A and B are shown apart, each in its own frame.
Chain A
Amino acid sequence: MGSLQLRHVDAGSCNGCEIEIASVFGPVYDAERFGTRLVASPRHADGVLVTGPVTRNMAVPLKKTVEATPQPRVVIAVGDCAHDCGVFRGGYGVVGSVNDVVPVDVSIPGCPPHPTAIIEALRGITRR
Chain B
Amino acid sequence: MTAGVLVVAGALLGLGGAIAGALLPKGWRVRAATALIWAACGCEAAAAIHVLAIDRPIVLRSTELLPFTGVTLVLNSLGAFFVLLVVMVAVPATLYGIGYASHGLDTRTAACVFPLFVTTLLLVPTAGSVATFMALWELMALTSLLLVLVDHSASEASRSAGTWYAVLTHVGAATILVAFLILAAHSGGQTFAAIAVHARHLASGVRALVFMLALVGFGSKAGAVPFHVWLPKAHPEAPSPVSALMSGAMVALGVYGIVLVGDDLLGGGPVWWWLVVLVLGGASALFGSLHAASSTDLKRLLAYSTTDNIGLVLLAVGAAGLYDATRHPLLAALSLVSALVLLFNHAAFKGALFLSAGSVQVATGSRDLDRLGGLLRRMPQTGALFLVAAAAISALPPLNGFIGEWLLFQSLLHGAVIGSTAADIAIPLAVAALALTAGLTVVAFVKAVGIGFLGRPRSESADEATEVPRTMRLAVGLLVAVCVVLGVAPTLIFPAVERAVKTALPGLGTRILAHGVDLQVVGLRGMLAPAALAGSLAGAVVGIMVLRRALSRQPTPRVVEAWGCGRQLQTARMQYTATSFAEPVQRVFDDVLRPVQDLDVTHVAESRYVIESVTFANTVDDAIERSLYTPVIRAVRRWGQVARRLQPGSVHRYLAYGLGALVILLVAVAVMG
The reply, when asked whether chain A contacts chain B directly with Cβ atoms under 8 A, is yes
Chain A residues proximal to chain B, CB less than 8 Å: 9, 41-43, 60-62, 64-65, 67-68
**Bound Cα distance A40, B563 (Å):** 12
Residues of A within 8 A of B563 (CB): 41-43, 64-65, 68
Cα separation A68 to B565 with both chains bound (whole Å)? 10
Q: List 22 A-B contacts (CB under 8 A).
A: A9-B566, A41-B563, A42-B563, A43-B563, A60-B566, A60-B568, A61-B565, A61-B566, A61-B567, A61-B568, A62-B566, A64-B561, A64-B563, A64-B566, A64-B567, A64-B568, A65-B563, A65-B566, A67-B560, A68-B560, A68-B563, A68-B566
Residue of B nearest to A62 (CB): B566
Classify the interface of chain B: helix, strand, loop or mixed: loop
Closest Cβ–Cβ distance, residue A44 to chain B (whole Å): 10
Residues of A within 8 A of B568 (CB): 60-61, 64
CA A22 to CA B451, docked complex, whole Å: 38
Contacts of A67 in B (CB 8 A): 560
Chain A residue contacts of B567, Cβ below 8 A: 61, 64
Shortest beta-carbon contacts, A-B, top 3: A61-B566, A68-B563, A64-B566
- Main SS class of interface, A: helix
12 further A-B pairs in the complex, CB-CB below 8 A; given A41-B563, A43-B563, A64-B568: A42-B563, A60-B568, A61-B565, A61-B566, A61-B567, A61-B568, A62-B566, A64-B561, A64-B563, A64-B566, A64-B567, A65-B563
CA distance A75 to B323 in the complex (A): 69
- Residues in A whose Cβ lies below 8 Å from that of B565: 61
Min distance, Cβ B294 to any Cβ of chain A, angstroms: 30
Q: How far is the CB of B571 from chain A (nearest CB, A)?
A: 15
**Which residues does chain A contribute within 8 Å of B561, judged by CB atoms?**
64
Which of A9, A43, A60, A64 has the most chain B CB atoms inside 10 A of its CB? A64
Shortest Cβ distance from A65 into B: residue: B566
Write the nearest CB–CB distance from B557 to chain A, whole angstroms.
Answer: 10
**Chain B contact residues, CB within 8 Å of chain A:** 560-561, 563, 565-568
Cβ–Cβ < 8 Å partners of A61 in chain B: 565-568
Bound CA–CA A56/B560 (angstroms): 24
Q: Which residue of A lies closest to B567 (CB)?
A: A61
Whole-angstrom distance between the Cβ of A19 and the nearest chain B Cβ = 23
Chain B proximity of A24: nearest CB distance (Å): 23
Q: Considering the complex, give the chain A residue whose CB is closest to the CB of B566.
A: A61
User: Given the complex, which residues of B lie within 8 Å of A9, measured CB to CB?
Assistant: 566
Contacts of A43 in B (CB 8 A): 563
Q: Which residue of B lies closest to A63 (CB)?
A: B566
Q: Write the chain B residue with the least CB distance to A59.
A: B568
CA distance A10 to B43 in the complex (A): 74
Given the complex of chains A and B, what is the CA–CA distance between A16 and B563 in angstroms?
27
The residue in B563, B566, B567, B568 that gathers the most chain A C-beta atoms within 10 A of its C-beta is B566
Question: Could you tell me the distance between the alpha carbons of A98 and B563 in the complex, rounded to whole angstroms?
Answer: 20
Chain B residues whose C-beta falls within 8 Å of the C-beta of A60 in the assembled complex: 566, 568
- Specify the chain B residue showing the minimal Cβ separation from A42: B563
How distant is the Cα of A67 from the Cα of B565 in the complex, in angstroms? 12
Distance in angstroms between the alpha carbons of A121 and B608 in the assembled complex:
53
* Shortest Cβ distance from B558 into A: residue: A70
In the complex, A41→B563 CA distance in Å?
9
Name A41's closest neighbour in chain B (CB-CB): B563
The CA of A111 and the CA of B560, in the complex, are separated in Å by 36
Residue ID in chain B nearest A58 by CB atoms: B566
Contacts of B560 in A (CB 8 A): 67-68
Min CB–CB distance A54 → chain B (angstroms): 13
* A66 nearest in chain B by CB position: B566
The chain B residue with its CB closest to the CB of A57 is: B568
Closest CB in chain B relative to A58 CB, distance in Å: 9
The CA of A68 and the CA of B562, in the complex, are separated in Å by 8
Which residues from B are CB-within-8-Å of A64?
561, 563, 566-568
Inside 8 A of A41's CB, which chain B residues have their CB?
Answer: 563
A124 → chain B, closest Cβ, in Å? 24
What's the nearest-Cβ distance from chain B to residue A48, in Å? 11
CA distance A41 to B564 in the complex (A): 9
A65–B563 Cα gap in the complex (Å)? 7
Q: Which of A9, A42, A68 has the most CB of B within 10 A?
A: A68
CA distance A41 to B562 in the complex (A): 12
State in angstroms the CA–CA spacing of A16 and B313 once bound together: 64
A60–B567 CA distance with the chains assembled, in angstroms: 8
A127 and B135 CA atoms in complex are apart in Å by 85
Among residues of B, the one whose C-beta sits closest to the C-beta of A69 is B563
Closest to A68 in B: B563
**What separation, in Å, do the CA atoms of A67 and B563 have in the docked complex?**
9
CB distance from A113 to the nearest CB of B (A): 24
How far apart are the CA atoms of A56 and B568 in the complex, in Å?
12
- Minimum Cβ distance to chain B for residue A21 (Å): 18
A62 CA / B565 CA spacing, docked (Å): 10
Bound-complex Cα distance A90 to B291 (A):
59
Tell me the bound Cα distance from A62 to B563 in angstroms.
11
Specify which chain B residues have a CB less than 8 angstroms from the CB of A65 in the assembled complex: 563, 566
Cα(A43)–Cα(B566), bound, Å:
11
In the assembled complex, how far is the CB of residue B442 from the closest CB belonging to chain A, in whole angstroms? 25
Complex CA gap A61/B564 in Å reads 10
What is the CA–CA distance of A100 and B567 in the complex, to the nearest angstrom?
Answer: 20
**For the complex, what is the distance from the CA of A43 to the CA of B561, rounded to whole Å?**
12
Cβ-closest chain A residue relative to B569: A60
CA distance A60 to B568 in the complex (A): 7
Least distance between A38 CB and chain B CB atoms (Å):
15
Nearest CB of chain A from residue B222's CB, rounded to whole Å: 48
A50 to chain B, nearest CB (A): 12
Give the residue name and chain of the B residue nearest to A64 (CB): B566
Query: How far is A9 from B566 in the complex, measured between Cα atoms in Å?
Result: 10
Residue on A nearest B563 in the bound complex, by CB = A68
B180–chain A nearest beta-carbon distance, Å: 65
Q: How far is the CA of A84 from the CA of B91 in the complex (A)?
A: 73
Tell me the minimal C-beta distance from A69 to chain B in angstroms: 9
A67 CA to B568 CA in the complex, in Å? 13
CA distance A8 to B400 in the complex (A): 47
How far does the alpha carbon of A2 sit from the alpha carbon of B10 in the complex, in Å? 75
Chain B residues contacting A68 (CB-CB under 8 Å) are: 560, 563, 566
Min CB distance, B554 to chain A, in Å?
9
With CB as the reference atom, state the residue of chain B lying closest to A40: B565
Complexed CA–CA distance, A98 and B245 (Å) = 64
Complex CA gap A52/B560 in Å reads 27
Alpha-carbon distance between A60 and B566 when the two chains are bound, in angstroms = 8
Chain B's nearest CB lies how many Å from the CB of A31?
A: 24
How distant is the Cα of A128 from the Cα of B361 in the complex, in angstroms?
59
Distance of A60 Cα from B561 Cα, bound (Å): 14
Give B75 Cβ to nearest chain A Cβ, in Å: 61
Q: How far is the CA of A43 from the CA of B562 in the complex (A)?
A: 10
Q: For A62, what are the chain B residues with a Cβ–Cβ distance below 8 Å?
A: 566
Distance between B560 CB and nearest chain A CB, rounded to angstroms: 7
**In the complex, how many angstroms separate the beta carbon of A56 from the nearest chain B beta carbon?**
12
Min CB gap A127→B, angstroms:
20
Minimum distance in angstroms from B200 CB to a CB of chain A:
68
A61 to B568, CA, bound (A): 7
Q: Which residues of chain A have C-beta atoms less than 8 A from B566's C-beta?
A: 9, 60-62, 64-65, 68
* Shortest Cβ distance from residue B564 to the other chain A in the assembled complex, whole angstroms: 9
Residues of B within 8 A of A42 (CB): 563
Question: A9: nearest residue on chain B (CB-CB)?
Answer: B566
A48 CA / B567 CA spacing, docked (Å): 17
Query: Closest CB of chain B to A99's CB: distance in Å?
Result: 19
